[in-house]
Chains A and B, each alone.
Chain A
Amino acid sequence: MPDSNTGLATKSALDIEKVRQDFPVLSQTVHGKPLVYLDNAATTHKPQCVIERVREFDAEQYGTVRRGSYKMSEQATLLYEEARQKVADFVGAPDRKEIVFTSGTTQAINLVAYSYGRKFVNAGDEIIISNIEHHANIVPWQVLCEEKGARLRVIPVNDDGELIMEEYEKLLNEKTRLVAVNHISNALGTINPVKEIIRKGHDAGAKVLIDGAQSSPHMKIDVKDLDCDFYTFSGHKMYAPSGIGGVYGKMDLWESMGPYVTGGDMILQVTLEKTTYAKPPARFEAGTPPITQVIGLGTAIDYITEIGLDNIFEYEMSLLDYATRLLGEIDGLRIIGNAREKASIISFVLDVAHPHDVSSMLDQDGIAVRGGHHCAQPTMIRFGVPATTRASMAFYNKYEELDALAESIRKVIKLFS
């Protein structure tokens, strides 16, 4: 609970102390101080139930999937597909076969750029991204455009870090094949109006990919309602193991696409002359997948579903409001990204200290924040800074930790002035 002079509503459906007990890492100390973990946009920690489920699966139920006709393998396959169903339900996909597992968002976007892009994007076509994308949602499109002689176009942002929608509309035309934007910017926290972006993209005849790496852990996703063509996510940002993530795609699109990686498990039949491909999702999951990680992802989804995405979002918004006010009161600190619709991410710069010095200094107080360009250099260039310090919050953070953050920043300013 924040102290009484904050005036913030403290009613929350979450019992934060209880939630924190679910995460063993949060009781650690760093340099003799309690860990204050505020790098959740980079990666999140795992609740005990995920750690335990992964251990139990490996100890008792592990087996190869989709192959063996013996009990262990059949059981593992069942659990693996059950996890796919959990992902489908989690993002509101009508059919679990529309979920393809990948190692994460980076691979998911590369898969779409390769399998969809190589087939349907031609010379003279256009692809639209925004000025505030993660490199994972820039480079695959640059490579595709270069290869195909297509053109990459960019939605500009205003000084608050919001996409300028009128400019987006102007970019759309009959040559637009694909629009690829993030739901939430990892560098600024901007929540983009994706539903409108998708509708307008469709009106122009384009397909739309939403990079959901930052939204899947923090807000309720309904791909049916959004009507996006692809939606990507990363398990390690949603309290699950690293090495697993995936992409939702509409079935008719999956069916129209050729494979990305080829080999075992993605075939129907192989003769030495010709191969026919399996149906989606298997067509896009060549080789032995990260089985244990998929099981862990399923458990992480169960966990956050039980807590409730609406509860998570509401509480994280109150953390954001609190942190924005605290940091806003610090002289010599400038917040980069002041979108009206914002997730619990605050990027900032100090007049007197470089972001790398800030993160090294905060680390001395046990506070983990990220200093750097956040794999979003075009965003940094747009705002005229080489880097920022970023504090990104999750539902296991508490107000007191934000007090500690603000106090530690004040000390840095004092020392560097």
Chain B
Amino acid sequence: MSYDNELYQQVILDHNRNPKNFREIKNATHHCHGINPLCGDDMTVYMEVDSEQGVIRDISFVGTGCAISKASSSMMTAYLKGRSLEESRVIFDEFHKMVLGELDPEKQEHHLGKLKLFRGIRDYPSRTKCASLAWHTMIGALDKKTEEISTE
């Protein structure tokens, strides 16, 4: 018997155990609080944005959630650090489409790099929001949303 499924790959389990950028940024230029009311996942994304250059200098998160949401947050922060705001929005869009099954990274062009391992989520509709919470919250931070971001 094995758990060789697309949902819980080793990389995801590793990020769940030792999430990257799991900390607060003291003088964050942007931050946002996101919740998934259906399962109680709760997180805050912090960003330090260089608005002159249009670049994310630092990005981090804190909060509670399942392995999928933790790994997704961890990998998102690692992937976006140093990227331009423009790029980040494109990647958000592609990630979102991929987990909904609207973009197949095996067949279509994309900028998702290793984030494509979240492709399997599309077969588990009840879990897609776990993977996308961090991303919605990141966009909420960029858009300077003051109210809570909710997946519902």
Chain A residues within CB distance 8 Å of chain B: 353-357, 360-361, 364-365, 371-373, 377, 380, 386-387, 411, 415-416
Question: Pick the contact of B3 from A364, A373, A387 — CB < 8 Å?
Answer: A364
**Given A357-B68, A372-B39, A386-B64, also A415-B8 (CB < 8 A):** yes
Which residues of chain A are within 8 angstroms of B66 by Cβ–Cβ distance? Answer: 354-357
Q: Is the CB of A360 within 8 A of B7?
A: yes
A355 to B126 CA separation, bound complex (whole angstroms): 13
A367 to B41, CA, bound (A): 23
| Complex CA–CA separation, A191 to B114 (angstroms) | 50
Given contact pairs A386-B64, A387-B39, a sample of 11 additional A-B residue pairs in the complex whose CB atoms are under 8 Å apart: A356-B39, A357-B67, A360-B7, A360-B8, A360-B127, A361-B3, A372-B38, A373-B40, A377-B40, A386-B41, A387-B40
* A373 CA to B68 CA, complexed, in Å: 18
Complexed CA–CA distance, A386 and B38 (Å): 11
Chain B residue at minimum C-beta to C-beta distance from A407 = B1
Complex Cα distance A353/B16, Å? 9
CA distance A361 to B16 in the complex (A): 15
Chain A residues with Cβ under 8 A from B40's Cβ?
A: 372-373, 377, 380, 386-387
A416 to B8, CA, bound (A): 10
Q: How far is the CB of B34 from chain A (nearest CB, A)?
A: 14
User: What is the CA–CA distance of A356 and B41 in the complex, to the nearest angstrom?
Assistant: 10
The chain B residue with its CB closest to the CB of A363 is: B124
Q: Provide the main secondary structure of the chain A interface.
A: helix
A279 to B131, CA, bound (A): 54
A386 to B: closest C-beta gap in Å: 4
Q: Is the CB of B64 within 8 A of A353?
A: no
Whether A353 and B67, one on each chain, are in contact in the complex, defined by CB atoms closer than 8 angstroms, is yes
- The residue in chain B whose Cβ has the minimal distance to the Cβ of A386 is B40
Q: Which one of A364, A365, A373, A380 has the highest number of Cβ atoms from chain B below 10 Å of its Cβ?
A: A364
Tell me the residues in window 36-51 of chain B with beta carbons closer than 8 Å to chain A beta carbons: 38-42
Q: In the complex, which residues of chain A have a beta carbon less than 8 angstroms from the beta carbon of B65?
A: 354
Determine the distance from Cα of A386 to Cα of B40 in the docked complex, in whole angstroms: 6
Q: Is the C-beta of B27 less than 8 angstroms from some C-beta in chain A? A: no
Q: Which of B42, B67, B68 contacts A416 (CB 8 A)?
A: B67
Which 10 residue pairs spanning A and B have beta carbons closest together?
A: A354-B66, A386-B40, A356-B66, A357-B67, A357-B66, A387-B40, A356-B39, A364-B5, A364-B3, A415-B3
Decide if B139 is an interface residue (CB 8 Å cutoff): no
Chain A positions within 8 Å of B124 at CB level: 360
Cα A233 to Cα B121 in complex, Å, equals 37
- The minimal Cβ–Cβ distance linking A356 to chain B, given in whole angstroms, is 4
Does chain A have a CB within 8 A of B99? no
Given A357-B68, A386-B40, A416-B67, A365-B8 contact (CB < 8 Å): no
Cβ-based interface call for B130 (8 A)? yes
Please indicate the chain B residues that have their CB under 8 angstroms from the CB of A353 in the complex: 67
Q: Which residues from 66 to 102 on chain B have a C-beta closer than 8 Å to any C-beta of chain A?
A: 66-68
Q: How far is the CA of A391 from the CA of B52 in the complex (A)?
A: 54
The reply to whether the CB of B13 lies closer than 8 angstroms to some CB of chain A is yes
A361, B124: Cα distance in complex, Å: 12
Write the B1-41 contact mask toward A (1 if CB under 8 angstroms, else 0). Answer: 10101011000010011000000000000000000001111
Determine the distance from Cα of A364 to Cα of B17 in the docked complex, in whole angstroms.
Answer: 21
Choose from A365, A371, A380, A416 the contact partner of B13 (Cβ within 8 Å): A416
Give A377's nearest chain B residue, CB to CB. B40
| Cα(A387)–Cα(B42), bound, Å | 12
- Shortest beta-carbon distance from B2 to chain A in Å: 9
Which single residue of chain B is at the shortest CB-CB distance from A415? Answer: B3
Known: A357-B66, A357-B68, A387-B39. A415 touches B130 (CB 8 A): no
| CB–CB A415/B13 < 8 A | yes
Complex Cα–Cα for A319 and B127 (A)? 31
A50 to B6, CA, bound (A): 38
Interchain CA distance A325-B17 in the complex, whole Å: 29
B84 to chain A, nearest CB (A): 33
Other-chain contact of B8, A361, A373, A380, A386 (Cβ < 8 Å): A361
- Known interface pairs A372-B39, A416-B16. Does A356 touch B130 (Cβ–Cβ under 8 Å)? yes
Cα separation A131 to B33 with both chains bound (whole Å): 28
B7: A residues at CB distance < 8 A? 360
Q: For the complex, give the distance between the alpha carbons of A355 and B16 in Å.
A: 14
Residues of the B chain whose Cβ atoms lie less than 8 Å from the Cβ of A365: 1
In the complex, the answer to whether B8 meets A357 with C-beta atoms within 8 Å is yes
Distance (whole angstroms) from the CB of B99 to the closest CB of chain A: 15
Q: Taking the nearest CB of chain A, how far is it from the CB of B89, in angstroms?
A: 28
In the complex, what's the smallest C-beta–C-beta distance from A57 to chain B, in angstroms? Answer: 34
CB contacts (< 8 Å) of A377 on chain B: these are: 40
24 residue pairs of the A-B complex, CB under 8 angstroms, read A354-B66, A354-B67, A355-B66, A356-B39, A356-B68, A357-B8, A357-B68, A360-B8, A360-B124, A360-B127, A361-B3, A361-B8, A364-B3, A364-B5, A372-B38, A373-B39, A373-B40, A377-B40, A386-B40, A386-B42, A386-B64, A415-B8, A415-B13, A416-B17
